[in-house]
């Protein structure tokens, strides 16, 4: 199929006001994890209005919009839940009413990650307008609970809906760069036990908090010794939470637990990371318990889909057809070489690629440093670029790599 890339860019620019309005409508709907029902319904309305061939909401609550009826299934994904507002005094504008000028849109979810959703929907309209139908079916997903448990939505889509695309484009923010991987992560719990007694005579008991203290010091050292990968970078860990149990403030603590945010680089598995901690001398001395958290909170539909809090690292080779297609599309549309890099944070790619082995590639409007930040913003020029890219990728891929 011959694509007129100038026409695509012109059409994307023509739809800039509509993309911006749709994004602001989404921002105006509070949609923290497990509270996404209203925003899902708003997306459904927009998909139907621009002419999607089929729109469904699955039992978990993800929205699945289809364009075309061809043999090659290609997916594009945006999670539509957000984190909370945080301290409202740090916002210059209401995080839900937002703010807009000629260049930017401000509000919770602008970059992370509703801008990607807006650009995808209008890419679908461009495909319809310019008759880019080919031997592909484009699946555009608005997924839920990512901020609570990244990848859970795609575990459900793959395993329960039995959907396995040839590749998935994640529209998480990349500053309109092409991202082909990320470190993984896992959530680890370490617990110590003691014996309580009255605080006036602590020698009668066994303080679980004191047992935890040398473990904390050894974890700090362990962080400096973790593996490093040339592309993904170094593994890391930090202690993110601490809990205790005690009969009162006037008693020796009989329990202490910490949470560890462990970032996994290439070659680091969940069991490997757990064993590293179990092997620490202070952990052995304290007979501490080391385990992985799990996640079992219900979605807004009430569905519970339990999973371990383990989200593997993943990369896509630069010579993979999906990456080659993205690079070629960028060059044709914008007349320059793209930057190919990786995310610092985690995405739904942990389930798409890390757990299920489906190729994943990233290209999204917005910037990583806007994620979870007060005064979160995105750029209208990037929304236009993203819509144009998403519109040409399926036909370009099929034309070069999908012919029998």
Domain ranges of the chain: 5-183+313-401, 185-295
What pLDDT sits at residue 402?
A: 82
Q: Choosing from 81, 112, 150, 172, which is the catalytic residue?
A: 81
What pLDDT sits at residue 404?
A: 57
Concerning whether 337 is annotated as a catalytic residue, the answer is no
Peptide bond into 238 cis (omega under 30): no
d(CA 11, CA 61): 31
SS3 of 42-63: HHHHHHHHHCCCEEEECCCCCE
Q: Choosing from 46, 100, 146, 150, which is the catalytic residue?
A: 146
SS3 of 310-371: EECCEECCCCCHHHHHHHHHHHHHHCCCCCEEEECCCCCHHHHHHHCCCCEEECCCCCHHHC
Q: Look up the CATH number of domain 5-183+313-401.
A: 3.40.630.10
Domain 185-295 has CATH 3.40.50.300: no
Helix (H, G, I), strand (E, B) or coil at 11: helix
The pTM score is 0.95
Longest dimension (CA), the chain: 83
User: Is the CB of residue 16 less than 8 Å from the CB of residue 384?
Assistant: yes
- φ, ψ of residue 237 in degrees (nearest 5): -150, 150
Query: How do beta strands 72-79 and 136-143 pair?
Result: parallel
Concerning whether 77 is annotated as a catalytic residue, the answer is no
- Choose among 347, 363, 367: nearest CA to 396: 363
What pLDDT sits at residue 1?
A: 75
- φ, ψ of residue 303 in degrees (nearest 5): -75, 135
What pLDDT sits at residue 403?
A: 63
Helix (H, G, I), strand (E, B) or coil at 238: strand
Ranges of the chain with pLDDT below 50: none
Q: Which residues of 84-122 are buried (b: 16+ CB within 10 A; e: fewer)?
A: ebeeeeebeeebbebbbeeeebbbbbbbbbbbbbbbbbb
For 136-150, the pLDDT digits (tens) are 999 999 999 999 999
């Amino acid at each position: 199929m011959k694509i007129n890339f100038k026409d695509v860019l012109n059409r994307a620019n023509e739809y800039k006001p509509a993309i911006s309005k749709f994004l602001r409508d989404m921002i105006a709907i509070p949609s923290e994890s497990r509270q996404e029902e209203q925003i899902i319904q708003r997306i459904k309305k927009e998909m139907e209005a621009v002419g999607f061939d089929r729109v469904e909401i699955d039992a978990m609550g993800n929205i699945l919009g289809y364009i075309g009826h061809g043999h090659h299934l290609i997916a594009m994904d945006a999670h539509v839940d957000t984190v909370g507002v945080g301290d409202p005094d740090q916002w210059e504008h209401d995080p839900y009413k937002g703010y807009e000028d000629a260049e930017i849109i401000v509000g919770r979810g602008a970059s992370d990650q509703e801008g990607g959703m807006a650009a995808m929907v209008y890419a679908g309209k461009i495909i319809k307008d310019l008759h880019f139908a080919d031997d592909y079916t484009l699946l555009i997903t608005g997924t839920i609970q990512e901020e609570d448990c990244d990848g859970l939505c795609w575990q459900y889509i793959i395993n329960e809906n039995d959907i396995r695309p040839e590749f998935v484009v994640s529209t998480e923010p990349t500053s309109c760069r092409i991202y082909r991987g990320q470190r993984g992560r896992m959530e680890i719990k370490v617990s110590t036990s003691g014996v309580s007694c009255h605080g006036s005579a602590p020698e009668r008991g066994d303080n679980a908090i004191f047992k935890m203290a040398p473990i904390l010091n050894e974890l700090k050292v362990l962080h400096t010794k973790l593996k490093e990968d040339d592309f993904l970078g170094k593994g890391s860990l930090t202690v993110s939470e601490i809990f205790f149990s005690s009969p009162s403030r006037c008693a020796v603590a009989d329990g202490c637990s910490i949470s560890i945010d462990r970032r996994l680089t290439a070659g680091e598995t969940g069991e490997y990371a757990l064993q590293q901690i179990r092997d620490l001398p202070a952990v052995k001395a304290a007979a501490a318990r080391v385990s992985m958290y799990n996640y079992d909170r219900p979605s807004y539909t009430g569905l519970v889909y339990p999973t371990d809090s383990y989200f593997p690292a993943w990369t896509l080779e630069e010579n993979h057809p999906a990456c080659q297609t993205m690079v070629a599309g960028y060059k044709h549309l914008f007349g320059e070489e793209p930057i190919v890099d990786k995310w610092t944070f985690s995405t739904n790619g942990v389930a798409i690629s890390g757990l299920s082995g489906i190729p994943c590639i990233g290209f999204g409007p917005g910037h990583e440093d806007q994620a979870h930040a007060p005064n979160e913003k995105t750029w209208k020029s990037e929304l236009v670029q993203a819509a144009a890219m998403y519109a040409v990728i399926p036909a370009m891929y099929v034309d070069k790599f999908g012919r029998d």
